Chains A and B, each alone.
Chain A
Amino acid sequence: MSFINYSSREINCKIVYYGPGLCGKTTNLQYIFRRTNPEQKGKLISLATETERTLFFDFLPLALGDIKGFRVRFHLYTVPGQVFYAASRKLILKGVDGVVFVADSQVERMDANMESLDDLEINLAEQGYDLSKLPFTIQFNKRDLPNVAPLENMNRLLNPGNIACFEAVAVLGTGVFETLKNIAKQVLTELKKHY
């Protein structure tokens, strides 16, 4: 649910990074935070446990620039990936405008990826969203590790709809902005369709 304010001439959109535990959702946000100009970003808020596992969400507000005189702001959120935080994950999807699914490319994490993707679809459906109609991007993260699954396999398992997907190494920043740009573009294109 985007928020268009004609008075302050702002458009606010919400993007959620989803995926299994330790796939690199928070790492994506941290990289974006490090690489954006101070005037474009707010604080990166992390509600995490002492061992730096996300407990509730991470939040990063980004102001990308102006379109037709409107300031475009994206609010980036991550969900806690661990299975037992299901209740919190649902809450964060409320009012989402676009979803990035971050998949862990390691072979042994394929089951976790598939479980998380199912969980995403179910949680979205509960809020009345259909994943196939929502702006959606997939990121295959951790491509630098030795034990990664081949792209064809990952696409077959996680991306049957053949939507836009990006290879990434989020710790180094590879693919991070490409993913963000793609989802932002989809969200704005959707906005254009409706207004």
Chain B
Amino acid sequence: MSASDLVMYEEEFNKIDNELQKLYMQTNAKVVFLVDKNGQLIASAGETHDLDTTSLASLTAGNIAATGGIARLLGEQEFTILFHEGEKDNIHISLIGTRVILVVIFDKRSSLGLVRLRVKKASETLVKMFDEISSKSEKEKSEGKLDESPFAEISDEDIDNLFR
């Protein structure tokens, strides 16, 4: 597996979660969530109970990937913001750094202007956080701390048990 595996520890996760909660409050949004570019949900805030966040995450990532493909055909590096407007709900999708996608779903209680402004602020903070996460896991990897991880002891039996 490549060095780009994402490993998230409790401490960093809480920081990110706090930032999302803050953004959720400030934007008056319905839902705010973070997705890895490969389609895996990282964290979410807001009214997520009746939302299929797993599917949303994968489709958002697909959307960003397709838009990125279009961008490259046009000689752009990437389109960093996507906005879809619906009858009731709108969705604002933006790229954070190079590997994370921030999604804000909002209705008429908020506005595109407000969302854009707050997302921009939050992005700066989140970019720093993700930089810290990757440098931390790089460091731990090089120091061999990850040897103590639970995965070193996965046995064939554990794997077989998954399929019982």
Cβ of A56 and Cβ of B66 under 8 Å apart?
A: yes
Q: How far is the CB of A93 from chain B (nearest CB, A)?
A: 10
Bound together, the chains give a CA A61 to CA B38 distance in angstroms of 13
Q: A45-B58, A75-B58 are in contact. Are A184 and B162 (CB under 8 A)?
A: yes
Cβ of A194 and Cβ of B1 under 8 Å apart?
A: yes
Cβ of B10 and Cβ of A6 under 8 Å apart?
A: yes
The stretch that binds B, out of A21-29, A63-71, A112-120, A162-170, is A63-71
Option from B54, B62, B156, B163 in Cβ contact (under 8 Å) with A61: B54
Option from A2, A45, A87, A128 in Cβ contact (under 8 Å) with B59: A45
Q: List 5 A-B contacts (CB under 8 A).
A: A3-B40, A7-B14, A59-B58, A94-B38, A95-B36
Bound together, the chains give a CA A70 to CA B62 distance in angstroms of 26
Option from B1, B4, B152, B156 in Cβ contact (under 8 Å) with A190: B1
Which chain B residues border A69 with CB–CB below 8 Å? Answer: 150
The A42-91 residues at the B interface (CB cut-off 8 A) are 42-43, 45, 47, 56-57, 59, 61, 64-65, 67-70, 72, 75, 87-88, 90-91
Most buried by A among B8, B54, B156: B54
Which chain B residues border A184 with CB–CB below 8 Å? Answer: 159, 162-163
Cβ of B8 and Cβ of A5 under 8 Å apart?
A: yes
Q: A75-B40, A128-B2, A195-B149 are in contact. Are A67 and B8 (CB under 8 A)?
A: no
Which chain A residues border B38 with CB–CB below 8 Å? Answer: 1, 3, 14, 94-95
Bound together, the chains give a CA A14 to CA B163 distance in angstroms of 17
Bound together, the chains give a CA A132 to CA B38 distance in angstroms of 22
Which chain A residues border B68 with CB–CB below 8 Å? Answer: 91
How many chain B residues have a CB neighbour from A under 8 Å?
Answer: 40
**With an 8 A cutoff between CB atoms, is A149 at the interface?**
no
Bound together, the chains give a CA A23 to CA B6 distance in angstroms of 33
Bound together, the chains give a CA A6 to CA B150 distance in angstroms of 10
Option from A6, A91, A94, A191 in Cβ contact (under 8 Å) with B1: A191
Residue ranges of B at the interface with A (Cβ–Cβ < 8 Å) = 1-2, 4-10, 13-14, 36-40, 42, 52, 54-55, 58-59, 62, 65-66, 68-69, 146, 149-154, 156, 158-159, 161-163
Cβ of B5 and Cβ of A4 under 8 Å apart?
A: yes
Option from B7, B52, B62, B69 in Cβ contact (under 8 Å) with A6: B7
Residue ranges of A at the interface with B (Cβ–Cβ < 8 Å) = 1-8, 11-12, 14, 42-43, 45, 47, 56-57, 59, 61, 64-65, 67-70, 72, 75, 87-88, 90-92, 94-95, 97, 128-129, 177, 181, 184-185, 188-192, 194-195
Which chain B residues border A6 with CB–CB below 8 Å? Answer: 7-10, 13
Cβ of B36 and Cβ of A91 under 8 Å apart?
A: no
Bound together, the chains give a CA A70 to CA B150 distance in angstroms of 9
Option from A43, A67, A88 in Cβ contact (under 8 Å) with B66: A88
Which chain A residues border B156 with CB–CB below 8 Å? Answer: 185
